Structure 1
Amino acid sequence: MARRVFYSFHYKNDNWRASQVRNIGSVEGNKPANDNDWEDVKKGGEKAIQKWIDDQMKGKSAVVILVGEKTAGRKWIKYEIKKAWESGKGLIGICIHNLKDSSGNQSSKGRNPFEDFTVDGKKLSSIVSLKNPPYLSSKYVYDHISENLEDWIEEAIETRNEYA
């Protein structure tokens, strides 16, 4: 049975890259918000955004942070990381900067978003894995993610359970 996961990513910069990962199909992801839906959520203000995130995370066993060039430090990404950890969900990051966007461009590697958190005096980045596919070709990066995604999620769940 496929795991149910919540995907977190910087919508404006990485929506196209994120959709590639979400469409792999080896795990069941959260329902994507299209541009119009997301604009409606944002119009409701911070409480509406927080409620939407909380509702989307319900029933998920893991949160996958798709890390692009400008993912780290973003307010809602930070909220999702904190919420995932506090909720006992598996947590993992996957670098997606070498996947091509809709214009065929790759981007620069972003910093590790888990560096911004500590757990029991340790950087979260020393607990939670950030997977960086070892390829420059978008096709090979996609294939690497596709081949490993299920195992990475299981590893993330096991790691989180060690800190329960």
Structure 2
Amino acid sequence: MARKAFYSFHYKLDNWRASQVRNIGAIEGNASISDNDWEEVKKGGDKAIQNWIDNQLKGRSCTIVLIGEETAGRKWIKYEMEKSWNQSKGVLGIYIHNLKDRDGNQSSKGKNPFDDFTLNGKKLSSIVKAYDPPYTTSVNVYNYIKENIESWVQKAIEIRNSN
């Protein structure tokens, strides 16, 4: 059975990289949103964004945070992680900085966004896994994610169920 996941990422910087991961197809993900659609959602303000996120999270068993150079500390990514954890969804991170963007560029590795949260006095990063593919070539990074994403999602759900 394919798991259903919500993908959390920095839209402006990482939407190309995120679409590569979402298109792997091993995990059913949230529907992609175009630049124009996202601009419409944002025009509605914080409440509209929150409602859109809340609706996207419905029926998902896991949230996959795609970690780029500037993912950590972003308001809505923090909201998505916290909401997912509080709804007992599996949560995991995948570093995507070595995937190429549409211009063929890679980026610098970003900070672990799970360092920003504590749970019972422990950083969430000590509980939630953030996977960093051990390759620098975009094709190898993609293949590594493709080969492992299903097991990472399953592990995230098991971790959440035990915490």
For 1:80 and 1:52, how far apart are their aligned partners in 2? 11
Question: Matches of 1:38 and 1:32 in 2, distance apart?
Answer: 10
Matched, 1:46 2:8: no
TM alignment of 1:85-164, pairs within 5 A: 85-163=85-163
Could you tell me the TM-score, scaled by structure 1's length?
Answer: 0.99
- Secondary structure in 2 matching 1:158: helix
Give the TM-score, by structure 2 length: 1.00
Shift of 1:149: 0.2
Alignment-derived partner of residue 61 in structure 2: 61
Opposite residue 31 of structure 1, the aligned amino acid is A
Aligned twin of 1:71 = 71
Q: CA deviation at 1:32?
A: 1.0
Q: State the match for 1:13 in structure 2.
A: 13
**2:120 and 2:87 mapped to 1: Cα distance?**
16
Q: Moved runs in structure 1, 4+ residues, more than 2 A?
A: none
Structure 2 CA distance for aligned equivalents of residues 74 and 157 of structure 1: 24
Corresponding position of 1:23 = 23
C-alpha distance in structure 1 between counterparts of 2:119 and 2:33, whole Å: 31
> Could you list the per-position Cα deviations for residues 22-53 of structure 1 after superposition, in whole angstroms to 9, with x for gaps in the alignment?
00000100001111110110000000000000
| Secondary structure of the corresponding residue to residue 154 of structure 2 | helix
Aligned to 2:83: 83
CA distance in 1, matches of 2:125, 2:30: 24
Aligned CA RMSD, in angstroms, stands at 0.3
* Structure-2 separation of matches of 1:26 and 1:112: 24
Structure 1 runs not aligned, ≥5 long: none
